[in-house]
Amino acid sequence: MADRCYDYIIVGSGAGGGPLARWLTAAGHSVLMLEAGSRFQSHEHPDNELEANNRLMWNGGMDASRDAGFMFLRGKVFGGGTVINQALLDRFDARALDSWAERSGLDEFSVDAMARHYDAVESELTLEHIPRENGNRNAELYVDGFEKLGYGWAPLRRGQSHCRVDQGNDCIRCLGGCPRASKQSMPVTFLARAEQQGLEVVTDCQVDGLSHGRQQVTVFGRQQGRARRFFGRRCVLAAGSLGSTRILQASGLAPELPALGKGFYCHPQFVTLALYDRIIDAHKGSFQAVKSDDERFRAAGFKLENVFMGPSGAAYLMPGFGAKHRDLMRAYRNLACIEVAVRDVTPGRIGGDGRGGLRIDKRVGAPERQRARAGLNVIHDIYRATGARKVVHSPVRIGLHLMGGCAQGRDRATSVVNPDFQVHGLPNLYVMDASLFPDAPGINPSLSIMALAHRAAERLLGEPLDARPEAA
Ligand SMILES: Cc1cc2nc3c(=O)[nH]c(=O)nc-3n(C[C@H](O)[C@H](O)[C@H](O)COP(=O)(O)OP(=O)(O)OC[C@H]3O[C@@H](n4cnc5c(N)ncnc54)[C@H](O)[C@@H]3O)c2cc1C
């Protein structure tokens, strides 16, 4: 491996890097993947929350914004965010894609043009709608409240197979890595196929920067403290919104790319718990089974998620100190939870802190506060209609679904990556992950990141993938 020049180096193994590696190797290219996190077999995933956060997430799940108003969660593991996420996989609607087309100037962002990319990705995944009978009491309360108040809801579509919640498995463990290889994360789907097709992987290797030459890209990294160098004719950054943006900045490319680091978005989560007199056991079984499906909520820029968290997560999110906090924790089994996930419109900025670390400037703006309030009003109505004794708001703002920083578009002044996924002015350097997003869609993003990877593979290979039988 030492001085070999690969056809492609892919940095990052998440929702963007995994599918891309699968299609590039299927086309016969030599591909090296570099990943900062470690590799786990399914049965090796940590079985307690704190250890999982520590071993599977950047900074133990504590990437704070500069004013500590947000905590951002992102995976640092072979498979990236797809190992620790909930694998809820939805296509984007016209509301999301039309906004992207307008911002980027790219017609490819339309429901019709994206359809065949979604088809291709979905054909490689096992997708299941959670059956109503598998929902737990937290889901039952949610549905009851929605129906009493006349709001639309729908079962969730999840990337999973043989999950066996009907046999007593609790899928909340999946957030620390699925122990049964049921969740359709990259290592059990696209990356498994890519490795069968010859993908080489180096884990525990953090990329610090790169240098772009006429014939090749040199990538500099550290593997367990040891400096490493890798060579590729082309390099694709798939290190996620924060990772890819930082690698470009640390490589000294910011002066040539005025939009780099701008337009950083997430979906801020406003967690609201309710205390009932009866046992709810919201952590049991399919801990997330239903979603809001109401055009009024979509138009108002929020959705309501029926979620829960393990005891460490609950202790972290719960307000208060001492006896007040203890009493809430004692009532863990009587708690239900709904959160408002807001479609973010106030852009943040990604940069360096001058000491080799990240600086993330991001705040909850007035539009997000107003959207959150609208959602919280509905949640209060639901809890009241279903007999909750007390409503508890978490003071912690979690930022999930990190997007932007290297927006795709035509105009170099407002974008970093061109319609062919190439960094403007650097023909051997590409980006393929959520950093491409021109704004926040308000919908779970990972299926769309995978669909974009299908489109990126076609651009890199220079022809439609369905014209290549080996990639079909
Ligand atoms: C708790 C949680 C639940 C979620 N639930 C859902 C859900 O249900 N549905 C959904 O669609 N989305 C969900 N998401 C979001 C989803 O997982 C992400 O949007 C998606 O994984 C992003 O894909 P990506 O390719 O941009 O980056 P990632 O999947 O984050 O992959 C980037 C990879 O690059 C690596 N990397 C970063 N920097 C470097 C570097 N310098 N050198 C080497 N490697 C590097 C990282 O370690 C990581 O493995 C959830 C996220 C979280 C945290």
Tokens of 246: 């930082």
Number of independent structural domains in the chain: 2
Q: Is the pLDDT of residue 258 over 70?
A: yes
Print the domain residue range for 135.
129-167+264-402
Per the CB < 8 A criterion, the answer to whether 81 and 15 are in contact is yes
- Is there a domain that residue 373 lies in? yes
The pTM (predicted TM-score) of the whole model is 0.97
Write phi, then psi, for 123 (nearest 5 degrees).
Answer: -70, -15
Residues 416 and 439 placed together within one structural domain of the fold: yes
Ligand 1 midpoint to CA 367 (Å):
26
Nearest CA to ligand 1 atom 19: 401
Q: What is the CATH number of the domain that holds 472?
A: 3.50.50.60
> Which atom belonging to ligand 1 lies closest to the Cα atom of 435?
26
Among candidate residues 353, 382, 402, the one where a domain is terminated: 402
Residues 44-101: tens digit of each pLDDT? 999 899 999 999 999 998 899 999 999 999 999 999 999 999 999 999 999 999 999 9
The C-alpha atoms of residue 224 and residue 233 are separated, in whole angstroms, by: 25
Residues 391-447: tens digit of each pLDDT? 999 999 999 999 999 999 999 999 999 999 999 999 999 999 999 999 999 999 999
Residues 120 and 239 placed together within one structural domain of the fold: yes
Residues 227 and 190 placed together within one structural domain of the fold: yes
Residues 104 and 161 placed together within one structural domain of the fold: no
Q: Is the pLDDT of residue 363 over 70?
A: yes
Nearest CA to ligand 1 atom 21: 81
Residues 4-30: tens digit of each pLDDT? 999 999 999 999 999 999 999 999 999
- What is the structure's pLDDT at 2? 63
Ligand 1 midpoint to CA 411 (Å):
27
Helices (H), 331-426: 366-385
- Is there a domain that residue 102 lies in? yes
Question: How far are the Cα atoms of 39, 374, 469 from residue 428, in angstroms, in the given order?
Answer: 28, 46, 26
Residues 193 and 313 placed together within one structural domain of the fold: no
Tell me the sheet residues that pair with 55: none
Residues 233 and 277 placed together within one structural domain of the fold: no
Mean pLDDT of the chain: 95
- What is the structure's pLDDT at 220? 98
> Which atom belonging to ligand 1 lies closest to the Cα atom of 87?
8
Ligand 1 midpoint to CA 434 (Å):
8
Residues 374-398: tens digit of each pLDDT? 999 999 999 999 999 999 999 999 9
Residues 205 and 352 placed together within one structural domain of the fold: no
> Which atom belonging to ligand 1 lies closest to the Cα atom of 244?
38
Residues 444-471: tens digit of each pLDDT? 999 999 999 999 999 999 988 875 555 5
Ligand 1 neighbourhood includes 75 CB (under 6 angstroms) = yes
User: 171 falls in which pLDDT band (50, 70, 90)?
Assistant: confident
Q: What percent of the chain has pLDDT over 70?
A: 98
The C-alpha atoms of residue 434 and residue 457 are separated, in whole angstroms, by: 15
The C-alpha atoms of residue 240 and residue 238 are separated, in whole angstroms, by: 6
Ligand 1 neighbourhood includes 453 CB (under 6 angstroms) = no
Residues 391 and 411 placed together within one structural domain of the fold: no
Ligand 1 neighbourhood includes 206 CB (under 6 angstroms) = yes
Residues 220 and 368 placed together within one structural domain of the fold: no
Q: Is the pLDDT of residue 472 over 70?
A: no
Residues 248 and 206 placed together within one structural domain of the fold: yes
Q: What percent of the chain has pLDDT over 90?
A: 90
Residues 408 and 391 placed together within one structural domain of the fold: no
Ligand 1 neighbourhood includes 403 CB (under 6 angstroms) = no
